[in-house]
Amino acid sequence: MKMKTVVCYKWVVSDDCISVSPSGNLEFKDVEYDISEYDRNAVEAATQLAERTEGLCVALSAGDETLVKSQKATLSAGPKEGYVVIDPIMDKADCMVTANVLAEAVRKIGEVDLVLCGEASSDTFSQQMAPRIARELGWPVATYVKEIEPGNGYVTVTRELEACVEKLELRLPAVVSILGDSNTPRMPKLKDVMSAGKKPFTRWTVADLGVENTTAGLEIVSLAGNSTDRKTIILEEDSLETTMEKLLKSLIEEGVVG
Amino acid sequence: MDKKILIFSENLNNACEMLAGAKALGDQLAVVYIGTDKDAKELVAHGANTVYLFSKENNVPYEAYAEDIAAIAMEKSPNLIMVGMTNRGRTIAAIVAQALHAPCASECSSLKLGNDGKYVITRKIYGGKATSTEVCTADTLVVTIPMRAYEIQAADNTLSGEIVQLERNASVAMKLIEESSKSVDSVDITAANTVVLFGRGLEKAEDMAMMEELAELLGGVTACTRPLAVDYGWMPTSRYIGLSGKSVKPALYLDIGSSGQIQQIAGASDSKIIVAINNKASEPVFNECDYGVVADLYEAVPILIGLLKKLF
């Protein structure tokens, strides 16, 4: 059965660009954007499924104008088409609003068999998208997925949880979230990057989708840099022997050894 | 206060912990639980005014109860829904939140009721580099709470509460084919006072003996990062720490030969003292430790073992 997969990705500020100054201020330097880490695994999984079933993989995201620049990164990694919802509403969107927007976009894309998300985004790490999108669409969902096998009208997924490994059959259409490290995202070749700019890349606003509920329920009051609570004492004596002696002495003084 | 709270956890102890914490956040406490009548009575003894009880069915994953939990929430309109943060709990919390079109704050580091009657949470973002303080402006807030965030209180058998037996209603388009418990051994790393974690810096399985010796001298247990358990099969899958694995809160945590990426070290971030030993000074773990030694673990660990032997 040919599968049409939609992979939802988040376009985030690269972790390396974010730092905390000694005085505790959050700093963004030489800002660069990238596909959120686990979403890359989702892109790879979605692409593989489409390839195996001779179907179609498309990419979907919602955010601000910076999303326009995601075309090359996303469409060179496997998906054949891209859809982006760019709207000021996304500036204050919480997970509920984002899920409403993405779910409506999936409806508008149409005839979708499987929606894939990364297990969590590298910036806010809420881990809510897949279950929320599924609930909004009325589709079954499986999270913590490391393997997907396509079937006829269903997929068999393997989930990895704290205490067990679970195999589930999900009737399609369905939603899954993919664990990071569950596959190796392909390295785009030069020709993939060049052709990415020519693939269909559709832009919508929230109004185009007819989303009903766009009022966020959580409002950010403040954002503060965390100087680590940890002491970060790097021990370095004349020899490794004396360094380890100093370490042991410190741990005894801390009361965690002896 | 006049706030209604609904609590759900897969784990009875965790539900009791949240009941203890809920007292400062609301005055009408209800728990949804999948278990036995005895479990329900235990919850009442820990402060539940109402327990909505479902029987545990074989071959039905906990997520299949999400719609029933959502239905209770839609009927009772709690102001706060507290969900125990297991893998399944996170999924259920998000489904229930979406059913209510309510916000959900995942993995809160703090949760308070403001003077204006609004709930305020803090949580870590940007890989732990920042703390976001957020206020809930909606009628219902869903939160996921880590295990052991609150201290369980003694049971009080004089307390009374209503136990409502319910039957799972919703049918779900999912079929459980196979559930294999992760290979477990007798060691519960989450209960240990000292944990020695090793990562991919360890070159071969035989070298684990050195880590075991170190752990034993410290009166602790060994654990590993996900690839060593899942990909290499060097340790049972119940012994790895990380996002889809275990979280620990020991007094002493040694992170040896592992880079300490945020999702990895998050599994041990509540440890009292963290020690890092790694041969690369630029690894993230050195920003998240109390004491760090930049060295080859194959040199540092034997020295530490020798020193401990002299001590005891």
Task: Note whether B93 and B214 are same-domain residues.
Answer: no
Task: Note whether A41 and A150 are same-domain residues.
Answer: yes
Task: Note whether B129 and B268 are same-domain residues.
Answer: no
Task: Note whether B60 and B103 are same-domain residues.
Answer: yes
Confidence of residue B264 (pLDDT cuts 50, 70, 90): confident
Confidence of residue B177 (pLDDT cuts 50, 70, 90): confident
Task: Note whether B137 and B208 are same-domain residues.
Answer: no
Task: Note whether A129 and A60 are same-domain residues.
Answer: yes
Range of the domain at A18: 4-209
- The answer to whether residue A258 sits within a structural domain is yes
- The answer to whether residue A176 sits within a structural domain is yes
- The answer to whether residue A90 sits within a structural domain is yes
Reported as a single tens digit per residue, the pLDDT across B155-164 is 999 999 999 9
What pLDDT does B263 receive?
A: 67
List the CATH number of the domain containing B200. Answer: 3.40.50.1220
Q: Which residue has the tokens 């979708």?
A: A112
Task: Note whether A133 and A106 are same-domain residues.
Answer: yes
Max Cα distance, chain B (Å) = 65
Min Cα separation B280/chain A (Å)? 12
> Residues B197-207: what's their mean pLDDT?
94
pLDDT at B16 exceeding the cut of 90: yes
Task: Note whether A123 and A240 are same-domain residues.
Answer: no
Task: Note whether B202 and B305 are same-domain residues.
Answer: yes
pLDDT at B183 exceeding the cut of 70: no
Reported as a single tens digit per residue, the pLDDT across A183-202 is 999 999 999 999 999 999 99
What pLDDT does A247 receive?
A: 97
Min Cα separation A198/chain B (Å)? 33
Q: Which residue has the higher pLDDT, B185 or B303?
A: B303
Asked if the C-beta of A170 comes within 8 angstroms of chain B's C-beta atoms, the answer is yes
Range of the domain at B152: 4-166
Q: Identify the residue among B69, B87, B106, B231 best suited for mutation to test binding to A, counting A beta carbons within 10 A and taking the highest.
A: B87
Task: Note whether B122 and B217 are same-domain residues.
Answer: no
Number of domains chain A contains: 2
Task: Note whether B145 and B219 are same-domain residues.
Answer: no
Task: Note whether A187 and A237 are same-domain residues.
Answer: no
- The answer to whether residue A217 sits within a structural domain is no
- The answer to whether residue A40 sits within a structural domain is yes
Task: Note whether A88 and A126 are same-domain residues.
Answer: yes
Task: Note whether A234 and A150 are same-domain residues.
Answer: no
List the CATH number of the domain containing B72. Answer: 3.40.50.620
- The answer to whether residue B40 sits within a structural domain is yes
CA distance A211 to A49: 29
Task: Note whether B142 and B41 are same-domain residues.
Answer: yes
- CB contact under 8 Å between A256 and B124, yes or no, is no
Pairing outcome for strands B4-8 and A233-234: unpaired
Q: How far is CA A155 from CA A174, B171, B226, B261, in A?
A: 9, 18, 25, 32
Mark out the alpha helices in chain B (DSSP H runs).
12-22, 37-45, 66-76, 87-100, 208-217, 226, 262-265, 297-311
Query: By three-state DSSP, how is residue B234 classified?
Result: coil
- The answer to whether residue A216 sits within a structural domain is no
What pLDDT does B184 receive?
A: 65
Reported as a single tens digit per residue, the pLDDT across B62-104 is 888 999 999 999 999 999 999 999 899 999 999 999 999 999 9
What pLDDT does B283 receive?
A: 85
Chain A residue numbers touching B179 (CB-CB < 8 A): 164-167
The ipTM is 0.91
Reported as a single tens digit per residue, the pLDDT across B54-73 is 999 887 888 889 999 999 99
Task: Note whether B151 and B196 are same-domain residues.
Answer: no
Task: Note whether A89 and A199 are same-domain residues.
Answer: yes
Task: Note whether A146 and A257 are same-domain residues.
Answer: no
Tokens of B104: 């959900």
CA distance A124 to A37: 12
- The answer to whether residue A141 sits within a structural domain is yes
Q: Identify the residue among B129, B218, B232, B239 best suited for mutation to test binding to A, counting A beta carbons within 10 A and taking the highest.
A: B129
Q: Identify the residue among B10, B104, B230, B247 best suited for mutation to test binding to A, counting A beta carbons within 10 A and taking the highest.
A: B104
- The answer to whether residue B174 sits within a structural domain is no
Q: What is the mean pLDDT of each run of 10 residues along chain A (258 residues)?
A: 96 89 85 95 97 98 96 96 97 97 98 97 93 97 96 95 88 95 91 95 97 95 86 94 97 94
Reported as a single tens digit per residue, the pLDDT across B219-245 is 999 999 988 988 888 998 889 898 667
Number of domains chain B contains: 2
CA distance A74 to A37: 12
What pLDDT does B14 receive?
A: 95
Task: Note whether B162 and B194 are same-domain residues.
Answer: no
What pLDDT does B35 receive?
A: 96
Contact yes or no for A86/A68 (Cβ under 8 A): yes
Q: Of A50-54, A162-166, B114-118, B179-183, where does mean pLDDT reach its minimum? A: B179-183
Reported as a single tens digit per residue, the pLDDT across B24-57 is 999 999 999 999 999 999 999 999 999 999 999 8
Task: Note whether B34 and B161 are same-domain residues.
Answer: yes
Contact yes or no for B148/A237 (Cβ under 8 A): no
Contact yes or no for B256/B199 (Cβ under 8 A): yes
Choosing from B166, B201, B234, the residue where a domain stops is B166
Task: Note whether A39 and A157 are same-domain residues.
Answer: yes
What pLDDT does A20 receive?
A: 83
- Secondary structure (DSSP) of chain A: ---EEEEE--EEE-GGGEEE-TTS-EEE-S--EEE-HHHHHHHHHHHHHHHHTT-EEEEEEEESGGGGGHHHHHHTSS-SEEEEEE-GGGGG--HHHHHHHHHHHHHHH-S--EEEEESS-TTT----HHHHHHHHHT--EEEEEEEEEE-SSEEEEEEE-SSEEEEEEEESSEEEEEPTTSS-PPPPPHHHHHHHTTS-EEEE-HHHHT-S----SEEEEEEEE---SS--EE---SSHHHHHHHHHHHHHHHTS--
Residues 111-140 of A with CB under 8 A from B: 119-120, 122-128, 130-132, 134-136, 139-140
Task: Note whether A90 and A148 are same-domain residues.
Answer: yes
List the CATH number of the domain containing A134. Answer: 3.40.50.620
- CB contact under 8 Å between B179 and A236, yes or no, is no
Task: Note whether B154 and B248 are same-domain residues.
Answer: no
Task: Note whether A121 and A237 are same-domain residues.
Answer: no
What pLDDT does B238 receive?
A: 83
